[in-house]
Amino acid sequence: MTWARRAVPAVAAAVAALAARDLIQRDHALLRNFPVLGRARYLLETIGPELRQYIVAGNNEERPFTRDQRRWVYASAKQENNYFGFGTDNDIEYTLGYPIIKHRTFGRAVPPSSPTAGHDVRLPSAKVLGAARGRARAFRPESVVNISGMSFGSLSGNAITALNKGAALAGCLQNTGEGGLSPYHRNGGELVFQLGTAYFGCRDEHGRFSLDRLKDLVAGAPVRALEIKLSQGAKPSLGGLLPGAKVSAEIAATRGIPAGQDCVSPSRHAEFSDCDSLLDWVELLAAETGLPVGIKSAVGDLGFWQELATLMRDTGRGVDFVTIDGGEGGTGAAPLIFTDSVSLPFQQGFSRVYKIFAEHDLHEQVVFVGGGKLGLPDNAIVAFALGCDLVNVGREAMLAIGCIQAQKCHTDTCPTGVATQNTWLARGLDPTLKSVRAANYLRTLRRDLTKVAEACGVEHPGLIGTDAVEILDGRTGSTPLHQVYGYRPEWGLPSPADQAEIIRLMVPEAPQGGSAPPSATAVG
Ligand SMILES: Cc1cc2nc3c(=O)[nH]c(=O)nc-3n(C[C@H](O)[C@H](O)[C@H](O)COP(=O)(O)O)c2cc1C
Ligand code: SF4
pLDDT digits (tens, 9 = 90+) for 21-48: 989 888 889 899 889 888 887 777 776 6
Per-residue pLDDT of 467-491, as tens digits, reads: 999 999 988 899 999 999 999 989 9
Q: Give the ligand at the shortest distance from the Cα of 397.
A: 1
Mean pLDDT, the chain, rounded, equals 92
Whether 347 and 297 have beta carbons less than 8 Å apart is answered as no
Ligand 1 center to 225 CA (angstroms): 18
Query: Range with the lowest mean pLDDT among 91-95, 294-298, 436-440, 514-518?
Result: 514-518
In ligand 2, the atom with minimum distance to the C-alpha of 406 is: 2
Flag whether pLDDT at 104 surpasses 90.
yes
Q: Which ligand is nearest to the CA of 195?
A: 1
Q: Is 98 exposed, middle or buried (0-12, 13-18, 19+ CB in 10 A)?
A: middle
* Nearest atom in ligand 1 to 396's CA: 26
Whether the pLDDT of residue 241 is over 90: the answer is no
- H-helix or E-strand spanning residue 442: helix 431-455
Cβ neighbors of 40 (< 8 A, separation 6 or more) are none
Which of 404, 425, 429, when mutated, tests ligand 2's pocket best, judged by the most ligand atoms within 8 Å of its CB? Answer: 404
Peptide bond just before 494 cis, omega within 30 deg: no
pLDDT per position as a tens digit, 305-364? 999 999 999 999 999 999 999 999 999 989 999 999 999 999 999 999 999 999 999 999
The reported pLDDT for the residue numbered 244 is: 81
325 lines ligand 1 (CB under 6 A): yes
Other Cβ atoms less than 10 A from the Cβ of 475: the count is 9
Q: Do 463 and 493 meet the contact criterion of CB atoms below 8 Å apart?
A: yes
Please choose, from the candidates 368, 419, 406, 393, the residue with its C-alpha nearest in 3D space to the C-alpha of residue 159.
Answer: 419
Q: Is residue 511 predicted with pLDDT exceeding 80?
A: no
pLDDT at residue 3 tops 80: no
Nearest to 199 by CA among 179, 222, 170, 221: 179
Atom of ligand 1 nearest to the CA of 64: 25
Ligand 2 centroid distance, CA of 402 (Å):
9
CB-based contact 369:386 (threshold 8 Å): no
Pocket of ligand 2 (CB under 6 A): 398, 403-409, 414-416, 418-419
Side chain identity at 134, as an amino acid letter? G
pLDDT tens-digit series, residues 8-25: 888 888 888 898 998 988
Ligand 1 contacts CB of residue 297 (under 6 A): no
Average pLDDT over residues 358-380: 98
pLDDT at 447 over 80: yes
Phi-psi group of 251: left, alpha or beta (phi > 0 → left; psi -120 to 50 → alpha; rest → beta): alpha
With residue 273 as reference, give the H or E element that holds it.
none
Instruction: Tell me the C-alpha distance between 20 and 13, whole Å.
Output: 10
Give the torsion sign (CA, 219, 220, 225, 228): negative
Q: How far is the CA of 407 from the centre of ligand 2 (A)?
A: 5
Q: Which ligand is nearest to the CA of 155?
A: 1
Ligand nearest to the CA of 428: 2
Nearest in space to 177 (alpha carbons), one of 462, 416, 392, 464: 392
The answer on pLDDT for 52 being more than 70 is no
Of all atoms in ligand 1, which is nearest to the CA of residue 176? 8
Burial zone of 476 (CB within 10 Å; 0-12 exposed, 13-18 middle, 19+ buried): exposed
pLDDT beyond 90 at 55:
no
For residue 74, which of 451, 403, 372 has the smallest C-alpha distance? 403
User: Exposure of 523 by Cβ count < 10 A (0-12 exposed, 13-18 middle, 19+ buried)?
Assistant: exposed
Q: 332 CB under 6 A from ligand 1?
A: yes
Helix H, strand E, coil C: the string for 66-129 is CHHHHHHHHHHHCCCCCCCCCCCCCCHHHCCCCEEECCCCCCCCCCCCCCCCCCCCCECCCCCE
Res 112: pLDDT: 66
Answer whether 68 contacts ligand 1 (Cβ < 6 A): no
pLDDT at 49: 58
pLDDT of 424 over the 90 cut: yes
* Closest ligand 2 atom to Cα of 404: 7
In this prediction, what percent of the chain has a pLDDT beyond 70? Answer: 94
Given a cut of 90, is residue 61 above it in pLDDT? no
- The percent of residues in the chain predicted with pLDDT above 90, rounded, is 75
Ligand 1 pocket check for 409: Cβ under 6 Å? yes
pLDDT of residue 27: 86
- Rounded to whole angstroms, the Cα distance separating 373 from 326 reads 8
523 pLDDT more than 70? yes
Q: Does the beta carbon of 419 sit less than 6 angstroms from any atom of ligand 1?
A: yes
pLDDT at 109: 80
Smallest CA separation from ligand 2 atom 7, residue: 403
8 A C-beta contact, residue 438 and residue 163: yes
Give the model confidence (pLDDT) of 269-307 as tens digits.
Answer: 999 999 999 999 999 999 999 999 999 999 999 999 999
β pairing state of 145-147 and 99-101 = unpaired
The Cα–Cα gap between 270 and 207 comes to 10
Atom of ligand 2 nearest to the CA of 402: 7
Beta-strand (E) ranges in 372-515? Answer: 390-393, 469-472, 478-480
Residue of the CA atom closest to atom 3 of ligand 1: 150
Q: Quick check: 464 and 453 in contact, CB under 8 A?
A: yes
pLDDT tens, position by position, 113-166: 565 666 777 899 999 999 999 999 999 999 999 999 999 999 999 999 999 999
Query: Which of 63, 66, 150, when mutated, tests ligand 1's pocket best, judged by the most ligand atoms within 8 Å of its CB?
Result: 150
